[in-house]
Structure 1
Amino acid sequence: MPGSASPCVAFTQLWLTLLVVTPVNGQHETAPLSVVSLQPPWTTFFRGETVTLTCNGFGLPQKTKWYQKNKTLRQTQGVLVGKAPTLMVRESGEYWCQANSLPPSTPVHLVFYKEVSLVLRAPPPVFEGDSVVLRCDTKRSIAAETLTFYKNNRALELPHPSSELHIRHANLKDNGQYKCSRKSTWAWGSVISSNTVEVQVQELFPHPVLMARPSQPIDGSPVTLTCRTQLSAQRSDAQIQFCFFRNYQALGSGCNSSSEFHIPAIWTEDSMWYRCKAETKNSQVEKQSRAFKIPVQRALADFQTSIIPASKLMFEGQLLLLNCSIKGVPGPLTFSWYKRDVLNKETKIPKSSEAEFKISKVNISDAGEYYCEANNSRRSFVSRAIPITIKVPVSQPVLNLSTGKTQALEGDLMTLHCQSQRGSPYILYEFYYENVSLGNSSTLSGEGASFNFSMSTERSGNYYCTADNGLGAQRSEAIWISVFDMTKNRTVPVATGITVGLLIMAVGVFLFYCWFSRKSGGKPTSDDSRSPSYSEPQEPTYYNVPACIELQPVYSNDPKENVIYTEVRGTQPRRKHAVQESESPRSRCQMAEKN
């Protein structure tokens, strides 16, 4: 069946191109320039047969040149609408074409055999996965039972007698030299052999190479995997798809036509082995890349913090504005603010999920160290702490005494305590006696400061204290403290006691004299039995007779001393008429008793 083509033949055209390779979506795709196709699709013929060559480019060429052995065969200017330029060939040789101004196509080698009765038809170059048909033809029909196919001079066993040898899904193991033979009908035992055809299965595409962009991603950053391969120039129209794997686990939903796979965020724990696979859509050809480990680097957060006002020393009532930004860490990010107080206690500030933190009016409780935390759902990054100092002027301090009394004795231990209710630390407390400094003490807490000293009589006077935290000193109210020395003051009560004792002795002697005179029969100063009308002069009447002195003791005790002081006061009654005063002195004189 010379000049005929089997409908089982998979190829209808031979694409022979000169390539320009450009990467598209990670796959190196070919851009066909000039293309030669054959009809019928064979490269071996009997002498006298004709094959039609067609030159194709992008669209219909307006200018075509045909070449054979470096000589121009034909040149056409313009073509008929809807028709491509063709060339009828009947001679063996290498042919190629040039469409428009594109580079020439790849040559195609044609062989026309003469004076042979058996020809093994061979298709254009064979690629992986192709279904190949080798046909053993004669000029006249022969019985298929008489045909035998050989590979590398070894007879092949076919399922049933046929004039065609089918190779399904060709691969490298199908490479070799093929021929066919038939038994001679006129010479018993003789065999007629055909020409030898070398089948070289070409690679449809090489093993893919997996690449990551970036090659050393940062923890949490996106990564794009690219499965790179390159289709053969003569099969640039083939369709392949790609699959991606992590430690033999498929990524995504499976294979698709994209040679790229996007990982939104890759983490250090994802530093595993990755590979990809490229395959034809009918899965006849599939190839895997080598395993590739992606080194994921730990993210190094570059925090930028700003503060308004620029100074970290603030005064109560000012506006505080903190802002946190970060570089080198992929998002999306959420922010949290924390405060660390002087006791190193950390507290999360509520409602601080933004990069900006604001306090409209600061007070003393807002002092501390502030830092922000950025979180991208897998990692947390913490900034350096910003110390914020809030200055509050001290209030007027209050001075208190340990005993609560403003009187003390020589040698007593006195403790002065000074405290301001408000004021930012550190507060310096200083104690004064009559404008002379006694000492000072600095404290961080709000409990104030104390000063201890021994009292002496020389230190009776005004005491006060001051408090100062650098924003202006405040002075307390003064307290007067009296100091007594009992060893010097005891001479006064002793002298008083002696004087009172002598006075009591004098009064006692006088009373004893009055009593003794009356007892011995002496006449009284007045006689009540006499008649007041008796005119004879008698004893004179005295108006200035001293009356009995009424003594009233007064006691004065000091609870701190063991001495009892006694004071005796004398009172004299009013003068009366001498007659009325003639009463007995003894009736109105009483002895003062010492209790």
Structure 2
Amino acid sequence: MRKNSFCPRLSPGSFCPISHAVLTGTARGSSQLQAGPCLFSSPLPSTSTCLRYPVSCSGLDPKASLLLEPPWSTTFKGQTVTLICRGPRSPAQGDVSWYHDEHLLKTNSEEIHIKTSGYYKCKTHGSSISDPVYVKFLSEWLVLQAQHPVFEGDNVTLRCQGKDDETVKEKSYYRNGKKLGGTNNSGTIIVYSASRDNSIYYCTASGKKFWGPWTETSNHLRIHVQELFPRPLLRASPFQPTEGSPVNLTCETRLPPQRSDVQLQFCFFREGQALGSGCSSSPELRIPAMWSEDARSYWCQAQTVTLSVKKKSLRSYIRVRRVPVSGVNLEIQPRGGKLIEGENLILVCSVAKGTGTVTFSWHREGTQRSLGRKTQRSLSAELQVPSVKAHDAGKYYCAADNVQGPVLSQRLRVTLAVPASRPVLTLRAPGAPALVGDTVELHCEAQTGSPPILYHFYHDGVTLGNSSAPSGGGVSFNLSLTEEHSGNYSCEADNGVGAQRSYRVILSVTVPASRPVLTLRATGAPALVGDTVELHCEAQTGSPPILYRFYHDGVTLGSSSAPSGGGVSFNLSLTAEHSGNYSCEADNGVGAQRSEVVTFNVTGTSVSKVTITAGVIGLLSVLGLAATATWVSRFRTQRNSGGLSATGTPSCGPTVGQGPSSSHTRGPSCSEPALMELQPVYGNVGPGHGDLIYSQVSSIQRSKGNPENSPRMHQEDKEPVVIYSELKKGRPDHCAGQASSGGRAREEASENYENVSCALSAMEH
């Protein structure tokens, strides 16, 4: 490899950094790249950028270009023409060599001025010698000139020039003796799409002088048309591809620097069939894969966009090598070969090497016929066995063959697992209902499934525990019941190929009712007849509903239910018979519990009332209301006349006899008529007479002796005398009737009596 100061340092396999470089070939099957003084080996760069710079296809440095100024290759003798040499780098650097008719001129300038006819060539540093240019100096009066340089497909300007153009009247142009167009007096004519056909051109000029008309013929000129681009060269990389590998085809040619703006198109062919999508601006075509049947002759074509220039490459035969299969491998999906019954088994057979069409086949040990066979142009193929069953278990292998004999893979085992079915949960309790303290057995079992099976037990979604069945079947889990064990139970069976959950089973744990507590809540203390007492019974624990029963001296008073648990109450309006022992009972169906006995006493009717014996009641019946009315009348009369003291004590009092069932009066000890005073004998009266009430008529308090107000008092500090009367209870309407007849008398009496309104009315009557 040639190196100098211009050649950049590149790593092996790098491309030349100069944008206008081209691939060139030396020997068959090899390729090199030249860019200026640098020479690089394959890999090949993109030829699309390389075609715009003059690089020799022979492996030499690019040619120099020689330009004329003015751009006419033929001119009049005595005139001067300037020659300019252009190399790969412009302006040219270093020495420039000039040649005239193969003789080296002693100059190193980029430009020279000439006046002598002949062939001229030049060479710059980093280029090869340019194509020769023939410059001709003529002594004729009329000269036909052609521009330089001219390339294939160019439009050429011809100029017919006389030494004295003022006398010229008409000019005509000829090619191979035939006149081109009509008369042209402009001095130039354009020849379109010049070709390298060695045509001969000349022109004529005519005019008039004093001696008469004249005609002059120019020199004969053969236009030097240069090649626009050389015949393309088709290259294949690699030259002998392996079957199945890609191939890059390159159509190589070059454009001169003076025509670097010309657009080329490239077409590729296999035999007579066009490849790719047709002609394109890219000089490269990639064939993704070459197969044995693709081993044929190939060629390419380069052409201008205007199709004025077309050139075909020589044909090249591409051979394709076949590689025998090797490295046959079998892969099972799912990985590991562990399948669930009913799944699809996928067998993938592949080869590490091998070209062309490969025949794949799949086998299971113990069977004569193959499971399947596929022939295709690829390095792998797959076979699917749908819905595998238990008999599909075993060892599998595959074979691959590309006409050179089958190669077998390793053997892989396939195992099948049966998923566990939905388990059934059974709760086995010693009795119904399940009670706190009982031991319940939870049994979970899946009818089918490959062992081992792991069972999980759940209570309201929370794991209770687990147990394994190594050989299949079911397992049990014992639970000592508490109140919190009520709820939803389920179990799960899992054998590693999918867990299955059982249906939920509801367990209700019944808690026996505890001994209830009876509470009696009276409106006051002590409890009196007519009061309302609340009996409240409550068991602190126990599964609802709880039925409560209330007892008085062993006799059922009533019952009430608590659907949601808690306690209940029972109200009782007291009578004298309600004294005694009370208890209650709580029953929720799993055994009744009786409370402790509570003793309750009913003491009386009110704080200022007493119960009168049957004798007193009889006495009041005999005397009637008449005596009471007489006493009341006298008492009111005495009070109104000043017979009572300021304290309401009479000036004299009666002497009342006492007895168990009757009473008598002694004579009064004062001058005024004596008041009849009743002194009752107290005793318990059964409260069964619901229509009787006892009302205090009057309470007379005797004070200490007062001679002024009570001269007839014989004793001091006497106890108060209380008068009661037995009355029937009056209904509200009855009371209203009495009120209407009582009138003003009741109004006056109310000032001194503490009584019930109906009772007062009765006494007044």
Higher relative contact order (CA 8 A, sep 6+): 1
